[in-house]
Amino acid sequence: MKIAIAGASGRMGRMLIETVLNDPEATLVGALGRADSPQLGRDAGAFLGKETGVALTDDIERVFAQADYLIDFTRPEGTMVHLEAALRHNVKLVIGTTGFDNAQKAQLRAAGEKIAIMAAGNMSVGVNVTLKLLEFAARHFAAGYDIEIIEAHHRHKVDAPSGTALMMGEVIADALGRNLDECAVYGREGVTGERDPSTIGFSAIRGGDIVGDHTVLFAGIGERIEITHKSASRLAYAQGALRAVRFLAGHPTGFFDMQDVLGLR
């Protein structure tokens, strides 16, 4: 598997590089970084004390010409540039970027008619199993329970709520026959009035080096149920990304998510 990594000098990019290098079936063929990165020109494995022969570069065309797959955990504007290059070079995409707007999501889905794409707000097996638990729970707590989603991430995360929190909200809303765009409440301040029971609330915490915590609270009268997932390391995301690469190997085109990869749909 000839794999290139976008955002290669970042925390997630480095974890992806390490995971690819440790997989005997994978070959690192490219490492993309920002044009202003001081790491440009350095070996992609330098942070591990390894020589890979792959230098960090901002030359998108060169990287895509060498790769069969790109794993991208960057930002929406960067991912959309990578999408255009992937279409030109017929490269399959594994996307962990979050914060896309509806128009960008539509572009990604449309591109799935020409290349294979797996996009997910979270690639860990645990989170995706948790989504199935939430779907089950939401159907059984449809009446008489208020639903709140609380997420916490490190101080460097730039979007809120997290992609994982939004995925959880979408799963719950679908199970309840609601439209998340219409029923979501993002934070509260001032005199808000009584809680509308049809809403799904979101709260975001940012601080320190928290990798990613997500809790869904079903609060009823006399009891509450909490379903929580906590990430201790980015390794779970990187391993999920490689699992997605293997899944895409059998699909020339299509738009998929981790529920497809894990056979949970």
Residues known to be catalytic: 153, 157
8 Å CB contact between 208 and 155: yes
- Report residue 52 as tokens: 């890979």
CA end-to-end span of the chain, whole Å?
26
- In terms of C-beta distances under 8 Å and separation of at least 24 residues, what long-range contacts does 96-103 make, across chains too? 96/12, 96/71, 96/72, 96/120, 96/121, 96/122, 96/123, 96/237, 96/241, 97/72, 97/73, 97/163, 98/159, 98/162, 98/163, 98/164, 98/166, 99/75, 99/158, 99/159, 99/163, 100/76, 101/76
